[in-house]
Amino acid sequence: MLLAHLLCFGFVICLRDYREHLISKRVTHLALITLVPLVDGSILQAAIMGFINFAIYAILKAISPQGIGSGDIRLSILIGFYISAFGGGEYELIWCNTVSWLACSITAIFHFLKRESLREKRVAFAPYLFFGLVCYAMSS
């Protein structure tokens, strides 16, 4: 049930982010509210994981305001809850984020090889966040 929840909401969020570069507050909040009953462990642990991930992305936003969008910061809370729901901890949170950032970096390298400028190109980061999450979910 948890994997179906992830795939369903992940697809909807990623599709809109890819098409419009927007992450809907309503869909993110609905995903979070419907995820809470599926959290196997402690809700407090899931909230802590969501807060830790939120803090990481908020710091990144403070360092580079144009580098990451507000929707991605909101989405980071949901990703933290998912990792906790799959039984992960801080190590898995770092692993999931690293896979997401590496996948995005590899894509950026291909754009550079095509001699495309990324300055005017916006990157939909939600698909990469969910890619890292799905990789973790499949490995656990």
The model scores a pTM over 0.95: no
Tens of pLDDT, residue by residue over 23-60, are 999 999 999 999 999 987 789 999 999 999 999 999 99
Contacts of 120 (CB under 8 A, 6+ apart): none
Q: How many domains does the chain have?
A: 1
Tens of pLDDT, residue by residue over 5-20, are 999 999 999 999 999 9
Average pLDDT, the chain: 90
**Residue 129 · residue 57 · CB < 8 Å:** no
Q: For residue 89, what are the domain limits?
A: 2-139
First to last CA, the chain: 15
Closest residue by Cα to residue 17 from 7, 27, 31, 30: 27
